[in-house]
Amino acid sequence: MSQSISLLFGVHAHQPVGNFAEVLVDAHLRCYKPFLQVLYRYPDFKFALHFSGWLLDFLFEHYPDDMTLLRDMVMRGQVELFGAGETEPVLAVIPNRDRIGQIETFSKKLEKKFGQRPRGAWLTERVWESTVVPALVDCGIHYVIVDDYHFICAGKSKAELNGFFATEEDGRTLDLFPISETLRYKLPFSPAHEAVAHIESLAEASASNKCIAAVYFDDIEKFGIWPETYQWVYEKGWLEHFIQGVLASPKISPRHFHDYHTSEKSRGVVYLPTTSYIEMNEWTLPAEPANAYADLVRQAKSAGWYEHNKSFLRGGIWKNFFSRYPESNWMHKRMLCLSARLAALPTEQHSDVMRQKLYAAQANDAYWHGLFGGLYLPHLRRAIYNNIVELEALLDTCVPRPAFYIEDTDLDGVEEAYLHNGILQTVVKLDGSASICEFDAYLLKHNFGDTLCRQTEHYFCKIQLDASEMSTHGSAGIASAHDRINFKHQINPSDLEVDIHPQNLFLDSLNGITLPYRLESHNDYRIRFQSMTDQWQIMKEFELSGNRLLVTYDLSGGLTGQLEIEINLAMPSCDGPGGRYISFGSTVLGGFGQFLNLADITEVIMEDSTLQGTLSFSTSTPIRLRTQPHFSVSQSEGGYEKIMQAVKLSLICPVAVRQLMIALEVK
């Protein structure tokens, strides 16, 4: 006689800090609201739920009726709430003090709003490192959920993964539930009756006399936001059919994680390797190794041995994103520096606003790139920098920094020179380019240097394939976002060309040849660089004066030809209608998404409605101005798309002028 199986069903709801309001509204209408409404009609279907803190605040503010519905479900014992870091950070990449602060902040929020303090926690992107155990346990978390893949990589077989296991670190013990990869791919993409039958089959196949569990915990966005899923899950009734099938089954008992955890015993001790879910491990790899990894996986699947040996075909780890993308690494190290500065303040100088800004700067989404990562999305990076710049200004009011200092912030072996006056800040890379890698306006809380360098991506090789060749789903269900190829924009070979240098400000070339510089002198107001040969010399100086950055070029010797200065700027409106070039005579010259070629220019205003400010430049002598948008090709669950990363200005001046002064003014 077959035994019953405990279905531990959970969903995770998250939107990145800084996401567009219209995206959140759409997600609520197509997913969060109908999901809660359907589940409310089935009080016997117990399930777990995690809303990230920022999203939860948004829903309480804009959709209080739905949150009242959720509170009722919690109070009647239908919903178990899961904790996490407040802003959905990857816990493994923030300091332990901030892990504790983030987890405690969110747990207290849940307790205040719903009367339930979480015993379980969601791990962002299921990124596991054993170093996170102490913080979780110290915050009252008893168990977390990770993929069954994590356990398989530790030598466990799938047959063993029908309960929870214990692990320990630094004297703290934490229990771990394995999420079924098979269920992750079946729900909600296969027909409801097939999903129910699969869960029943797990009970029938078990020879254990213990109460076994089927564990599902994945993104709620699969239930309405992914392509085709709204029609499939709600209009065609998949979710109701699945719930009805589970409740009607004599073999399946939907339970809470905490009930199962309280009534059952650990399956034993386990030590998991540092890893995340399978797809993430591929996304963390650079293009060439990722291609090799994908080829090995395809070969293994074709030969029929992949499933039994996939733990030995492991990709990279999440932290690889910092070594893959200098822009991600720079944000991360800037955040770590500010965390350390905040921690060093006397307690009486700490404020809730400071902590909120730090935690928002630790939100995971803008630090990585993959099918769901947001590094390629300028508005998500901008949200990180909004908080970094604002927090830095707050800290400077408590403990002022020197007006000039040099350090290797991003640990790349190349130092950076910081020059700031409380209104603006320039960070100059001392790599020989004498270019600015960060340009902050404190009143606007914006980094104009927040650009992205195009590099080769693993998915470039898929872009040329026909979508019909890539779709692997059958006619009975719908395809997962992992199995789709779709094009949101037309992509040409030129769009895939990589950048040969970072997209910084004030990258100089003489007659098409990049100029090398060395640091010549500095003080609290200016930095001076020199480029020279036996025949000529160019002196380049950066100076901050109020809300203006002044850049001066002094040329001497036997110079001929022209000097070209490339300035890459992060303008929030990108190629939308809110960004445009305006002459000082109020003539609209064009939008940020346009190619312009203008002669005899001395002044241009860059107006940006999203920024709610302007950046203007003026030159001491007429120059030729060329502008163009700078795009990258990204992937998302919606398909491949071109995203504007920067406004690229080229200022071209004949060397005969001997001196060129450029002023960037922020208002």
Q: Give the whole-angstrom CA distance, residue 218 versus residue 182.
A: 12
Number of domains in the chain: 2
- Beta strand 252-254 pairing with 5-13: parallel
Q: Give the whole-angstrom CA distance, residue 433 versus residue 437.
A: 10
Would you tell me how many other CB atoms lie within 10 Å of the CB of residue 404? 16
pLDDT over 80 at 424, yes or no: yes
CA distances for 83 relative to 103, 121, 217, 474, 540, angstroms: 7, 4, 13, 36, 52
pLDDT over 80 at 26, yes or no: yes
pLDDT tens digits, residue range 156-210?
Answer: 999 999 999 999 999 999 999 999 999 999 999 999 999 999 999 998 776 666 7
- Tell me if residue 554 is catalytic: no
Q: Which of residues 282, 302, 334 is at a domain's end? A: 282
Q: Is residue 320 part of a domain?
A: no
Q: How many helices (H) and strands (E) would you count in the chain? A: 21, 27
Q: Give the whole-angstrom CA distance, residue 609 versus residue 190.
A: 45
Query: 329 phi and psi, to 5 degrees?
Result: -60, -40
Percent of the chain with pLDDT over 90: 86
- Predicted confidence band at 254 (pLDDT cuts at 50, 70, 90)? very high
Q: Give the whole-angstrom CA distance, residue 360 versus residue 222.
A: 25
409, 337 contact by CB (below 8 A): yes
pLDDT over 50 at 625, yes or no: yes
575, 403 contact by CB (below 8 A): no
Q: Which of 57, 168, 194, 219 is catalytic?
A: 219
Q: What mean pLDDT comes out for the span 382-391? A: 98
Question: How many CA atoms lie less than 13 Å away from 353 in the CB half-sphere?
Answer: 7
pLDDT tens digits, residue range 583-596?
Answer: 977 899 999 999 99
Q: Give which of 311, 316, 319 is closest to 154, Cα–Cα.
A: 311
CA distances for 213 relative to 6, 8, 82, 177, 245, angstroms: 5, 7, 18, 9, 17
CA distances for 609 relative to 338, 383, 384, 587, 615, angstroms: 29, 16, 19, 17, 12
Q: Give the whole-angstrom CA distance, residue 628 versus residue 9.
A: 49
Q: Is residue 179 part of a domain?
A: yes
Question: Which residues are bridge partners to 579 per DSSP?
Answer: 608
- Predicted confidence band at 314 (pLDDT cuts at 50, 70, 90)? confident
Q: What letter does residue 237 receive in the DSSP assignment?
A: -
Q: Is residue 424 part of a domain?
A: no
3 state SS of 545: strand
- Predicted confidence band at 1 (pLDDT cuts at 50, 70, 90)? very low
Q: Is residue 620 part of a domain?
A: yes
Q: Which of residues 217, 249, 282 is at a domain's end? A: 282
pLDDT tens digits, residue range 438-467?
Answer: 999 999 999 999 999 999 998 888 776 543
Q: What mean pLDDT comes out for the span 60-88? A: 97
Q: Is residue 625 part of a domain?
A: yes
Both tokens of residue 161? 């993964």
User: At 340, which amino acid appears?
Assistant: A
Residues 6+ apart with CB under 8 A from 308: none
Q: What letter does residue 312 receive in the DSSP assignment?
A: G
Here the CATH number for the domain that contains residue 625 is 2.70.98.10
Q: What letter does residue 570 receive in the DSSP assignment?
A: -
489, 641 contact by CB (below 8 A): yes
3 state SS of 377: coil
Query: 73 phi and psi, to 5 degrees?
Result: -70, -35
Averaged confidence pLDDT in the chain = 93
Of the listed ranges 221-235, 297-311, 567-581, the least confidently predicted one is 297-311
Q: Give the whole-angstrom CA distance, residue 12 versus residue 82.
A: 9
- Angle, to 10 degrees, between the axis of helix 352-361 and the axis of helix 378-398? 150
Structural domain including 206 reads 5-282
Q: Is residue 583 part of a domain?
A: yes
Q: What mean pLDDT comes out for the span 606-624? A: 95
- 603: enclosing H helix or E strand: strand 596-608
Residue with token string 């300028």:
378
pLDDT over 80 at 506, yes or no: yes
Q: Which pLDDT value is given to residue 440?
A: 98
Q: Is residue 77 part of a domain?
A: yes
Q: Which of 66, 80, 125, 543 is catalytic?
A: 125
pLDDT tens digits, residue range 336-350?
Answer: 999 999 999 999 999
Q: Give the whole-angstrom CA distance, residue 73 versus residue 76.
A: 5
Q: Give the whole-angstrom CA distance, residue 26 versus residue 224.
A: 10
Q: Give which of 309, 232, 220 is closest to 9, Cα–Cα.
A: 220
Q: Which of residues 261, 282, 303 is at a domain's end? A: 282
Percent of the chain with pLDDT over 70: 95
Task: Record the pTM.
Answer: 0.93
- Beta strand 47-51 pairing with 5-13: parallel
Q: What mean pLDDT comes out for the span 76-89? A: 98
Q: Which pLDDT value is given to residue 586?
A: 83
Q: Is residue 355 part of a domain?
A: no
Would you tell me how many other CB atoms lie within 10 Å of the CB of residue 442? 19
162, 213 contact by CB (below 8 A): yes
Q: Give which of 79, 22, 30 is closest to 50, Cα–Cα.
A: 79
Q: Give the whole-angstrom CA distance, residue 124 versus residue 57.
A: 18
pLDDT tens digits, residue range 519-561?
Answer: 999 998 899 999 999 999 999 999 999 999 999 999 999 999 9
pLDDT tens digits, residue range 464-498?
Answer: 654 334 444 444 665 555 444 565 667 888 888 89
Sign of the Cα pseudo-torsion (259, 181, 23, 324, in order):
positive
- Tell me if residue 22 is catalytic: no
